[in-house]
Amino acid sequence: MSLQEQPPDGLRQDEYRILREADLRDYLAQLPMIAKRLGGSPGAWSISEVGDGNLNLVFIARGGAGAIAVKQALPYVRLVGESWPLPLSRSHYEHLALLHQARLAPALVPMVLHHNEALALIAMEFLEPHIIMRKGLVAGTRYPRFVDDITTFLARTLFYSSDLAVPAAQKKAGIAAFAGNHALCKITEDLIFTDPYRVCRAKTAGPRPGSTRQPRGFAKILSCMSRSPGSS
């Protein structure tokens, strides 16, 4: 999938369904490359939902030969529920971003193994014994390669996506490919950069007509995001 593809106006809602452990097992068993990577009989696979973030379902599937991570977007903010809808297309943009970053900074991004746009699902390389870096820092773990890895990742992805390295037409096509990803940008703008510094109307009043922001659970989301930056 190239960055020149048009972002989806809406996923095929009749094909979308929220997967649980048993559903995911049946789905993965139909994918030869994934089944080979996991190894063994699908009935013996261990599949657990481990997502502790605000938005998505995250599964770890383990088999006799290996493990993978699977992420499925929900059509709403997980921490709040259906009263705060979010577009499933955010999975499409995450998939584009992961492929783009992997081309520019190989070995510094988890490998994408499978993507299903209709299910808003991404299967990717499972990294272990990695832990969430925030937890490692709190525990006092030292990361001797972090400075080199993060600066290499930033330098390569930022420079090789910039006007300094990309022809104008290609740069504009890349911008257009991500232009529809406004929902998550809006959450970041509101919850991280704006609302902590003002009396937020959305915490106490109903949503504005036509607004996708919902007041129910707003303070809880803000609290959790401030505790867990980068959670998914």
Q: How far apart are CA 1 and CA 14, in angstroms?
A: 23
In this prediction, residue 118 carries a pLDDT of 95
Measure Cα distances from 133 to 111, 179, 232 in Å. Answer: 19, 30, 14
> DSSP assignment, residue 129?
S
In this prediction, residue 4 carries a pLDDT of 35
β-pairing, 112-116 with 121-125?
antiparallel
In this prediction, residue 228 carries a pLDDT of 44
pTM assigned to the model: 0.79
In this prediction, residue 183 carries a pLDDT of 87
Q: Which residues of 189-228 are buried (b: 16+ CB within 10 A; e: fewer)?
A: ebbeeebeeeebebeeeebeeeeebbbbebeebbebbeee
In this prediction, residue 117 carries a pLDDT of 95
Regions in the chain scoring below 50 on pLDDT: 1-11, 13, 203-216, 225-231
The predicted-structure confidence for 57-107, as pLDDT tens digits, reads as follows 999 999 999 999 999 999 998 888 888 899 999 999 999 999 999 999 999
In this prediction, residue 229 carries a pLDDT of 42
Is the Cβ–Cβ distance between 42 and 28 less than 8 Å? Answer: yes
Neighbours of 146 (CB within 10 A): 12
Q: How far apart are CA 36 and CA 38, in angstroms?
A: 5
Q: Could you tell me where the beta strands, DSSP code E, fall in 12-99?
A: 46-49, 56-62, 67-73, 76-77, 81-85
> DSSP assignment, residue 97?
H
In this prediction, residue 81 carries a pLDDT of 87
Which SS3 state, helix, strand or coil, does residue 155 take?
A: helix
